[in-house]
Amino acid sequence: MIENALPVQTDGRLLRGEATRERVLDAAERLFAAEGFDAVSIRRIAAEAGVTLGVVGFHGGSKQNLMRTVLERRVEALNTRRRAALEALRDAKTPPALGDLVDAYLTPYLEYASQGDPQWRAYARLIARIANDDRWYPSVGGLYDPVAREYLRAMQQARPDAPQQELATALTLTVASMLSLVASRARIAGLSNRAPGSPMEYRDTLITFCLGGIDAVSRT
């Protein structure tokens, strides 16, 4: 088993294979996001990346491992933006309001999902997919949950009298609503009689909805 293939060479130009590796991960990211893990074959990933079959195995390992790598590749950037938004609220003179917390948590993901970079958009769709699949979440949920827990603590400080258990559930429903804007575009567009647009168009309504929901729950 080839565990770690990182090049030992000094010069950056040496990493000829690093570019191919990115192409493979990008292709896998796009296809997994669009069609799901089981519907995509390694051969199609290879074709999409413009490489031969063996290269995918060389850079990505097994199919499961390839999926995991794709999921882990961008998680730090998303977590960093969410943490930074939370820090910014804490640095303000007044303690953060509930609405600011909801906004701060939802906005980075929505921006990534609506951004110009198609790879980030694909990654956002992929997250929405696996969050709704109990098969994947156990192995990657730990990457996202710590930040969510930080927000949960901040919400508890903003609503000290709210029942903890219910507040936690309200946050998970908030996350589910957010993800649904990306994962369930067909259903949402159909029911709201809108042409399916960027998730960002629903941002204000989403925040109002979730804030109203959390507020109601925290008054239980």
Partner DNA sequence: AAACTATCTGAACGGTCGTATAAATTGTCA
Partner DNA sequence: TGACAATTTATACGACCGTTCAGATAGTTT
Binding footprint of its own copies on the chain (CB under 8 A)? 35-36, 38-39, 128-129, 131-135, 137-138, 141, 145, 148-149, 152, 165-166, 168-173, 175-177, 179-180, 183-188, 190-194, 202, 205-206, 208-217, 220
Q: Residue 132 is encoded by which pair of tokens?
A: 């709704």
Q: Which is nearer to DNA, 5 or 77 (CB)?
A: 5
17 binding DNA? (CB under 7 A): yes
Binding of DNA at residue 34 (CB under 7 A)? no
3-state secondary structure of 74: coil
> Shortest gap between Cβ of 141 and its own copies (angstroms)?
5
> Hey, what are 160's tokens?
């000290």
Nearest one of 55, 177, 80, 183 to 125, comparing CA atoms: 183
What backbone torsions phi and psi does residue 133 show, to the nearest 5 degrees?
-130, 110
Q: How far is the CB of 50 from DNA (least distance, A)?
A: 9
Contacts of 103 (CB under 8 A, 6+ apart): 207
The set of residues, in sequence order, having a beta carbon less than 8 Å from that of 169 and lying 6+ positions away, is 217
Residue among 85 and 127 whose Cβ is closer to its own copies = 127
Binders of DNA in range 43-72 (CB under 7 A): 43-44, 51-59, 62-64
Question: Which partner, its own copies, DNA, none, binds residue 141 by CB below 5 to 8 Å per kind?
Answer: its own copies
The option from DNA, its own copies, none interacting with 76 (CB < 5 to 8 A, set by class) reads none
Pick the closest to residue 128 from 176, 166, 80 (CA basis): 176
Rounded CA gap, 211 and 215, in Å? 6
Cβ distance to DNA smaller for residue 41 or 164: 41
Given DNA, its own copies, none, residue 193, with its beta carbon under 5 to 8 Å by kind, binds its own copies
> What tokens appear for 129 in the block?
């997919």
Encoded tokens for 196 = 């399916």
Q: How far apart are CA 61 and CA 52, in angstroms?
A: 14
In the complex, the residues that contact DNA under the rule CB under 7 A are: 5, 7-11, 13-18, 20-21, 40-44, 51-59, 62-64
